[in-house]
Amino acid sequence: MCMQLEWGCYSPTMLSVQPDIILAADVLYDPAVIPTLLSVLQKLLMECGGGHGGDGSGGDGSDGHCIGGGRSATAVDSVMHGQGATHAGTSNPAHPPCALIATRVRNEATLQLFLTQAVEEYGLCVEEYKAVQDDVRFVHLDDATREAVLLHLVSAK
């Protein structure tokens, strides 16, 4: 099932879903919207995924940023290869939900604000996703613009 979520005006009913993956693109354009976006991600990822974060420590023995080999990469790989949900509407407990966020960096300070707040204030794990060319394509972009798009995985710690 696919569902559109307007994260600026969400309701508790919308947050009752159990996502396998949350996809977002071009949402890190204004520092003022970052707290709202992170709040929704925190609710969906931590409540549905059973995360333990909140203190910025990583909850998993990591440094809090979860760089490299995090469980979110496994979840995205599973979803991309058709192994995400065990049945409709129920997340696979072996692969907690995660968010994949595509960003064209326009302002480095805004991106850094998102990364810092996600980890330190919302207890989320953020890592850059180095997609294989066959997994993620931005065919409508020219080569120079495509190179400027970053993919980040966000998950509960």
Q: What angle do CA 89, 22, 62 make, to 5 degrees?
A: 110
Q: What is the domain count for the chain? A: 1
Which residues on adjacent β-strands are paired with residue 19?
none
Which of 49, 51, 50, 41 shows the shortest CA–CA distance to 5? 41
Asked whether residue 12 is domain-assigned, the answer is no
Asked whether residue 106 is domain-assigned, the answer is yes
Asked whether residue 63 is domain-assigned, the answer is yes
Tell me the pLDDT tens digit for each residue of 65-109. Answer: 554 444 455 556 665 555 544 433 444 556 788 999 998 888 899
> Is-contact 59 53, C-beta < 8 A?
yes
Query: Within a 10 A sphere around the Cβ of 126, how many other Cβ atoms?
Result: 24
- Pairwise pLDDT comparison (59 vs 106), residue with the higher score: 106
Tell me the pLDDT tens digit for each residue of 32-47. Answer: 999 999 999 998 888 7
Asked whether residue 97 is domain-assigned, the answer is yes
The DSSP code for 121 is: T
Asked whether residue 14 is domain-assigned, the answer is no
For the chain, the residue count is 157
Range of the domain at 146: 20-156
Residue type, 128: E
Asked whether residue 11 is domain-assigned, the answer is no
The DSSP code for 112 is: H
Asked whether residue 4 is domain-assigned, the answer is no
Instruction: Tell me which residue has tokens 């907690």.
Output: 96
Q: How far apart are CA 143 and CA 23, in angstroms?
A: 22
- Segments of 10-114 assigned E as strands: 21-25, 98-104
pTM of the shown model: 0.72
